[in-house]
């Protein structure tokens, strides 16, 4: 199952974040445009006023010459308004005007802006003006400007507001996104938790509804309805499988008995019964396949009522080894159990014994005469390992996933008897115990080749066995 996403990984949070960014950009753009437009309009107005002033002054100069110009400038600067003037000679000697000295101008463009000081309530106030400098014949200079301090203040307001506005949008938006994201996560969590429980085998679970009738409720309701349907189908299928198993197993067993009776009768008559004996073997195979299939289906679906109890894997290993000793002898393969410390796990004894038997059966069956098969239990950092190693041909890396599937038998093994269900059952048993079936190279005891099949039980399955200390002390 996937791990729970963090708040920042939720789609809701990301969507809100994108919208917040978009909103912040639009607001910035809008504010900037308003600012730019306002400024341009105000500047245009100022420039028009200046242009009008200049036209007036030019007429004055044309009619009355320099003295007329000086007179007009003086007259205009008598009362304090928005107008700023300065008329001086080439040595910056002021002839008329309301500026104390020539302003510091960084660039001599057509229209200039500059800071100047003006007395307001007997105090000097720093202000801003915009205007033009004109050359008057005779090496005189005339500055005609307008006070634009109000515009300057508006501009300042814009430039200070803008970053704060954007910051506020970002903070509020992110907080809102986190809130929505968390809410969604909570709802999704409920769905995920239920799915997890269903995956683990409890098909009766349903996603809880909040009753708000929102889209999550709708989704949950649909999921629940789907689960109802799946559960009904599963139940139907189980019933069919059960009845098929029941109905087929009995006639198969009856067939086997009949064949055996026939063999007995023929033997009594002194006739050869080889053909029928082979048929019995075939029937046995059929019955075995059938049992294996049923067991895999039940174990996989988690519907088997296999009881779990604490058991010692070492004991199971010893029992299975004893059972397979004759087979190993017949195949001239040595079979050994490496008994380690007691390895207690919570499990179903007969299922684990069946799984181990399948692994041992494979190991003996596929290992050539003179080979070695070893059953091992080991307690590792991750849990308990129950492994079967052999010195046979092993399984190529590319085939290791495949061989676990039902009815898969590798080309090399076609000549030996088998159904291709052995490893499938082992995997199903592993799954049932939340354990893992791992197929790896046999690297122990310098084996040139061979397979090690490991049933890896998790730490959570480990159990302290009752009476273990007593028993090992007695031995």
CA–CA distance, 333 with 365 (Å, rounded to integer): 9
The number of CA neighbours under 13 Å toward the Cβ of 366 is 25
Contact between 116 and ligand ADP by CB under 6 A: the answer reads no
Nearest one of 131, 138, 154, 172 to 39, comparing CA atoms: 154
Which of 286, 410, 465, 468 forms a contact with ligand ADP (CB under 6 A)?
Answer: 410
Site stretch for Mg ion (CB under 5 A), options 219-227, 244-252, 334-342, 419-427 = 419-427
Nearest one of 380, 389, 386 to 459, comparing CA atoms: 380
Which of 13, 216, 366, 457 forms a contact with ligand ADP (CB under 6 A)?
Answer: 366
Site residues (CB under 6 A) for ligand ADP, limited to 370-399: 390, 392-395
Strand order in the sheet with 383-390: 334-338, 372-379, 383-390, 451-458, 436-441
**Which residue is associated with the tokens 């059929």?**
286
Which of 422, 429, 437, 451 forms a contact with Mg ion (CB under 5 A)?
Answer: 422
Q: Which is nearer to ligand ADP, 42 or 410 (CB)?
A: 410
Q: Which is nearer to ligand ADP, 146 or 354 (CB)?
A: 354
Site residues (CB under 6 A) for ligand ADP, limited to 339-358: 358
Which of 362, 377, 387, 391 forms a contact with ligand ADP (CB under 6 A)?
Answer: 362
Q: Which is nearer to Mg ion, 5 or 418 (CB)?
A: 418
Listed in sequence order, the residues at least 6 apart from 48 whose beta carbon sits closer than 8 Å to its beta carbon are: none
Give least dist CB 429 to Mg ion, A: 13
Contact between 431 and ligand ADP by CB under 6 A: the answer reads no
- Ranked by CB distance to Mg ion, the top (closest) residue is 422
Contact between 418 and ligand ADP by CB under 6 A: the answer reads yes
List of long-range contacts for 212-221, beta carbons under 8 Å, 24+ apart: 216/184, 216/187, 216/188, 216/191, 219/191, 220/190, 220/191
Contact between 177 and ligand ADP by CB under 6 A: the answer reads no
Give least dist CB 311 to ligand ADP, A: 23
CA–CA distance, 325 with 89 (Å, rounded to integer): 125
Number of chain positions touching Mg ion (CB under 5 A): 3
Partners of residue 347 on adjacent β-strands: 309
Give least dist CB 11 to ligand ADP, A: 43
Give least dist CB 262 to Mg ion, A: 30
Nearest one of 365, 367, 353, 362 to 323, comparing CA atoms: 353
**How many CB atoms lie under 10 A from the CB of residue 199?**
11
Q: What are phi and psi of 186, to 5 degrees?
A: -60, -45
Contact between 170 and ligand ADP by CB under 6 A: the answer reads no
Contact between 348 and Mg ion by CB under 5 A: the answer reads no
Which of 84, 273, 423, 461 forms a contact with ligand ADP (CB under 6 A)?
Answer: 423
Site stretch for ligand ADP (CB under 6 A), options 26-34, 264-272, 281-289, 406-414 = 406-414
Which of 73, 142, 335, 403 forms a contact with ligand ADP (CB under 6 A)?
Answer: 403
Q: Mask 378-417, x = binds Mg ion (CB under 5 A)?
A: ----------------------------------------
DSSP-derived pairing of the beta strands 112-120 and 140-147? unpaired
Contact by Cβ (8 Å): 299, 351: yes
CA–CA distance, 236 with 228 (Å, rounded to integer): 12
**How many CB atoms lie under 10 A from the CB of residue 331?**
19
Tell me which of ligand ADP, Mg ion, none is bound by residue 420, counting a contact when its beta carbon lies within the kind-specific cut-off of 5 to 8 angstroms: ligand ADP
Site stretch for ligand ADP (CB under 6 A), options 176-184, 362-370, 377-385, 457-465 = 362-370
Contact by Cβ (8 Å): 186, 12: no
Give least dist CB 398 to Mg ion, A: 19
Residue 395 vs residues 60, 328, 388: alpha-carbon distances, Å: 110, 20, 14
Per CB under 6 A, residues contacting ligand ADP are: 358, 362-363, 366, 390, 392-395, 403, 408-410, 413, 418-424, 451
Binding site for Mg ion (CB under 5 A): 362, 418, 422
């Amino acid at each position: 199952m996937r791990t729970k996403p963090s708040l920042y990984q939720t789609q809701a949070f990301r969507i809100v974040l994108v919208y917040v960014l978009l909103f912040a950009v639009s607001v910035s753009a809008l504010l900037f445009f308003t600012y730019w437009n306002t400024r341009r309009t105000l500047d245009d107005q100022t420039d028009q006023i200046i242009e009008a002033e200049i036209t007036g002054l030019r007429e004055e100069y044309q009619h009355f010459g320099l003295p007329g110009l000086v007179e007009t400038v003086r007259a205009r600067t008598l009362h304090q308004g928005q107008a700023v003037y300065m008329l001086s000679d080439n040595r910056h000697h002021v002839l008329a005007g309301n500026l104390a000295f020539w302003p510091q101008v960084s660039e001599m463009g057509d229209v200039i802006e500059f800071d100047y000081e003006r007395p307001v309530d007997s105090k000097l106030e720093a202000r801003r003006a915009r205007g033009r400098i004109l050359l008057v014949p005779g090496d005189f200079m005339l500055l005609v400007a307008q006070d634009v301090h109000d515009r300057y203040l508006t501009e300042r307001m814009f430039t200070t507001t803008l970053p704060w506005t954007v910051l506020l949008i970002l903070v509020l938006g992110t907080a809102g996104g986190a809130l929505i994201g968390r809410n969604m996560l909570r709802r999704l969590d409920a769905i995920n938790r239920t799915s997890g429980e269903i995956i683990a085998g409890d098909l009766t679970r349903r996603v809880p509804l909040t009753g708000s009738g929102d889209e999550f409720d709708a989704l949950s309701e649909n999921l629940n309805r789907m689960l109802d349907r799946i559960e009904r189908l599963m139940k139907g299928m189980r019933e069919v499988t059960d009845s098929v198993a029941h109905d087929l197993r009995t006639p198969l067993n009856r067939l086997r008995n009949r064949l055996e009776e026939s063999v007995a009768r023929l033997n009594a008559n002194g006739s050869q019964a080889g053909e029928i004996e082979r048929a019995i073997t075939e029937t046995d195979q059929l019955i075995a396949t059938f049992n294996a299939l049923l067991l895999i289906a039940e174990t996989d679906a988690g519907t088997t009522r296999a009881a779990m109890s604490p058991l010692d894997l070492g004991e199971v290993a010893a029992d299975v080894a004893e059972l397979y000793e004759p087979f190993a002898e017949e195949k001239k393969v040595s079979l050994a159990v490496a008994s380690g410390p007691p390895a207690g796990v919570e499990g179903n004894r007969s299922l684990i014994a069946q799984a181990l038997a399948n692994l041992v059966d494979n190991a003996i069956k596929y290992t050539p005469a003179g080979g070695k098969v070893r059953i091992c239990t080991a307690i590792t950092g991750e849990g308990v390992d129950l492994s079967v190693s052999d010195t046979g041909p092993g399984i190529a890396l590319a085939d290791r996933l495949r061989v676990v599937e039902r009815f898969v038998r590798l080309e090399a093994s076609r000549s030996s008897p088998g159904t291709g269900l052995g490893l499938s059952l082992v995997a199903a048993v592993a799954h049932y115990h939340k354990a893992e079936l791992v197929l790896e190279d046999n690297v122990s005891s310098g084996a040139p080749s061979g397979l090690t099949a490991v049933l890896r039980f998790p730490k959570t399955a480990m159990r302290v066995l009752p009476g273990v200390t007593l028993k090992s002390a007695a031995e």
